[in-house]
Amino acid sequence: MPKMHTLRRSLRETFGLDALRPGQAEVIQSVLGGRDTLAIMPTGAGKSLCYQLPALHLEGTTIIVSPLIALMKDQTDKLLELGLEAVQVNSTVTGRREAEVLRRIGENRSDFVFTTPERLAEPEFLATLRGTEIDFVVIDEAHCISQWGHDFRPSYLALRQAVKELGDPPVLALTATATEEVVEDIGRQLGRPDMRLFRTGIYRPNLRLAVEHVSGDEEKRAVLVKLLEDHAGTGIVYTATVRHVEDVTRFLQGEGFEVEGYHGRQAAGRRRAAQDRFMDGELRAMVATNAFGLGIDKADIRFVLHYDLPGSLEAYYQEAGRGGRDGDPAHCVLLYDGKDRRTQLFLMGGRYPGAEEVRAVYTALQAAGSDSGGIPLARLQEALPGVARNKTRVVLAMLKEAGLARERRGARFAPGAKRADEPALDRLASAYQERGEHDREKLERMEAYARTAYCRWTALHEWFGEEMPVTRCGACDNCRKGLAELAGKPA
How far is the C-alpha of 151 from the C-alpha of 290, rounded, in Å? 10
**pLDDT at residue 303 in the model:** 98
Amino acid at 383: A
Let me know: does 478 contact 453? Beta carbons within 8 Å.
Answer: yes
- Using CA atoms, how far apart are residues 233 and 227, in angstroms rounded to an integer? 12
Highest mean pLDDT among 154-158, 368-372, 378-382, 456-460: 456-460
Q: How confident is the model at residue 462, as a pLDDT?
A: 92
Cα–Cα distance, 179 to 452 (Å, whole number): 20
b/e 370-389 (16+ beta carbons within 10 angstroms → b):
eeeebbebeebbebbeebee
Q: At how many degrees (to 10) do helices 242-254 and 217-230 cross?
A: 60
Confidence of residue 121 (pLDDT cuts 50, 70, 90): confident
DSSP state string for 369-436: -SSSS-EEHHHHHHT-TTS-HHHHHHHHHHHHHTTSEEEETTTEEEE-SS---HHHHHHHHHHHHHHH
Q: What is the pLDDT of residue 299?
A: 87
* Structure confidence at residue 488 (pLDDT): 62
Instruction: Give the other-Cβ count within 10 Å of 448's Cβ.
Output: 12
Region 286-313 average pLDDT: 89
Question: Confidence class of residue 68 from pLDDT cuts 50, 70 and 90?
Answer: confident
CA torsion angle 445 449 452 456 (round to 10): 140
pLDDT in tens, 210-263: 999 999 999 999 999 999 999 999 999 999 999 999 999 999 999 999 999 999
Q: Which residues of 276-313 are buried (b: 16+ CB within 10 A; e: fewer)?
A: eebeeeebbbbbbbbebbbbbebeebbbbbbbbbbbbb
Average pLDDT across the chain, whole number: 89
Neighbours of 438 (CB within 10 A): 14
Helix (H), strand (E) at residue 15: helix 4-15
Is the full-model pTM beyond 0.85? no
Q: Regarding beta strands 301-306 and 207-213, do their DSSP bridges make them parallel or antiparallel, or are they unpaired?
A: unpaired
Q: Is the pLDDT of residue 415 over 80?
A: yes
Confidence grade of residue 204 (pLDDT, cut at 50, 70, 90):
very high
Q: Are 416 and 405 in contact (CB under 8 A)?
A: yes
**Is the distance from CB of 464 to CB of 177 less than 8 angstroms?**
yes
101 exposure class (CB count in 10 Å sphere: 0-12, 13-18, 19+): middle
High-pLDDT (> 90) share of the chain, %: 55
- The residue with greater pLDDT, 476 or 388, is 476
